Structures are given as structure tokens and as C-alpha cells.
Chains A and B, each alone.
Chain A
């Protein structure tokens, strides 16, 4: 089954304690992306990756890091989480072959609800 998986699904942590949210896709997609969802703001892109070892900032990258060492994985790293990073996080992936024309939709993971106290 084609899917994007995220772990953990729920996480409660304290300010300053480093954490990693994993994302993996089994569709051989080149493009992967992280979004955060906040009430009244919809989803906003944090970081994206066009391929292995190629990453770039989205609209709200502050406080986050990513890496893309393998095609299937795209972890999101919070080196020193703060309460304003409490949010619902989604990983997404897409094929690049139609992305330039904006024709291909993105496939989303189930989300990770993060609470930072």
C-alpha cells in the first residue's frame, strides 16, 4: 500500500529537549515536505526537499532542521523546542515528474501532534 508514515503520532515534551519526528514514504517520490497546521492559519510549509541531499526552507523554517540522506526518509528535527512550536505536523511527498507543472497532488502522512510545555 502506497503511504506516508510518521512517528510518533503524539508527543508531549518540555522546552529545550531535542526531538526528531520521522517521515517515510514507499512511493519512490523525489519530493518531500513538512507542514505545520495551526488553527485559523491552515497549513504552512516548513522545509522541503527535491531529492537526496537537496533541502530548502519553506515559509516558516525557524527552529527546525531537516535532512535527506535517503530518498524514502525525511526527518524533522527540533533542536531546542519551544512552546510556540506546539502544533500538528504533516509530512507530504510527491513525484517530481509532474511537479513543475503543479499537476501532481501531494500525499500526506497521518500527522504528528506535538505539545511543548
Chain B
């Protein structure tokens, strides 16, 4: 079945450091790919999405490119801030039941 694998956390960075969170997927067909963010004590918010191969999703300085050849959707940001501290989830859309299939989440902690 379809699945998503994210890099293990937690990830700890200093402010203004470069961020990469790896995400790879296994899927049949042509799913859409998403990054969701969960700030402490809050629900999930959509951060960015890409609906087809080579699409780049971007938002709030984050970006991710849908790479079909490597089945990846890595999240990047050039300069992280303390306010980016959160748990990040990679997900893909599954045709069966319309559900999202999530990775296990990666906790990011940014220190001043």
C-alpha cells in the first residue's frame, strides 16, 4: 500500500540555519503531496502542497519539490526562526477513502 517515510527527529537547529527534512513516499498512481505543520498545542495546518511531478510548493519561506524520479518531497527553508519550532508532517493523498497518509512527523526545535 501507499506509505510515507520521514527522517527521524527531533531536529535541533540554531536560528538562521538551513533546514532540510527528508520525505520519501511509495504510491501507485499520481498522488498529491503535502506538508502540514503542527505548532505546540495546536491542530494541523497545511504548509504547502504539490499536485504533480516537478511542481514546487512554497509558503512562509518553506519549499518542497515533487520529485517523481526519486519519489521524494523534501522540505527546505533557507533560514529558520525560533517561531518555526513545530512538528512537521509529510503526507500524500490516497485515492482509497480520500484519506491522507502521513509520515510519523519530525519535531523541529530552533534555538536563538
Smallest Cβ-Cβ distance to B27: which chain A residue: A102
Give, as a whole number of angstroms, the nearest-CB distance from A26 to chain B. 16
Among A14-22, A43-51, A68-76, A77-85, which stretch is in contact with chain B? Answer: A43-51
Smallest Cβ-Cβ distance to A33: which chain B residue: B99
Q: Are B98 and A43 in contact (CB-based, < 8 A)?
A: no
With A43-B102, A45-B97 in contact, do A105 and B42 touch (Cβ < 8 Å)? no
Bitwise, B88-112 to A at CB < 8 A (1) or not (0) is 0101111101111011110000000
With A33-B99, A102-B32, A102-B51 in contact, do A42 and B43 touch (Cβ < 8 Å)? no
Which residues of A lie under 8 Å from residue B82 when comparing CB positions?
Answer: none
Out of A45, A100, A108, A111, name the residue touching B99 (CB < 8 Å).
A45
Q: Are A106 and B97 in contact (CB-based, < 8 A)?
A: no
Q: Are A40 and B98 in contact (CB-based, < 8 A)?
A: no
Q: Are A41 and B31 in contact (CB-based, < 8 A)?
A: no
| Alpha-carbon separation in the docked complex, A110 to B98 (Å) | 20
Which residues of B lie under 8 Å from residue A110 when comparing CB positions?
Answer: 42-43
Q: Is B73 an interface residue (CB 8 A)?
A: no
Q: Is B66 an interface residue (CB 8 A)?
A: no
Which residues of B lie under 8 Å from residue A90 when comparing CB positions?
Answer: 43-44
Q: Is B74 an interface residue (CB 8 A)?
A: no
Q: Is B77 an interface residue (CB 8 A)?
A: no
Q: Is B17 an interface residue (CB 8 A)?
A: no
| Alpha-carbon separation in the docked complex, A43 to B51 (Å) | 21
Interface residues of B in 36-61 (CB under 8 A from A): 36, 42-46, 49, 51
Q: Are B98 and A42 in contact (CB-based, < 8 A)?
A: no
Q: Are A103 and B99 in contact (CB-based, < 8 A)?
A: no
Q: Are B89 and A103 in contact (CB-based, < 8 A)?
A: no
10 nearest CB pairs, A to B: A102-B93, A42-B102, A110-B43, A108-B44, A102-B32, A45-B99, A43-B102, A42-B104, A111-B43, A108-B43
B residues whose Cβ falls under 8 Å from a Cβ of A: 4, 30-32, 34, 36, 42-46, 49, 51, 89, 91-95, 97-100, 102-105
5 contacts between A and B (CB under 8 A): A31-B98, A33-B99, A42-B102, A43-B44, A102-B32
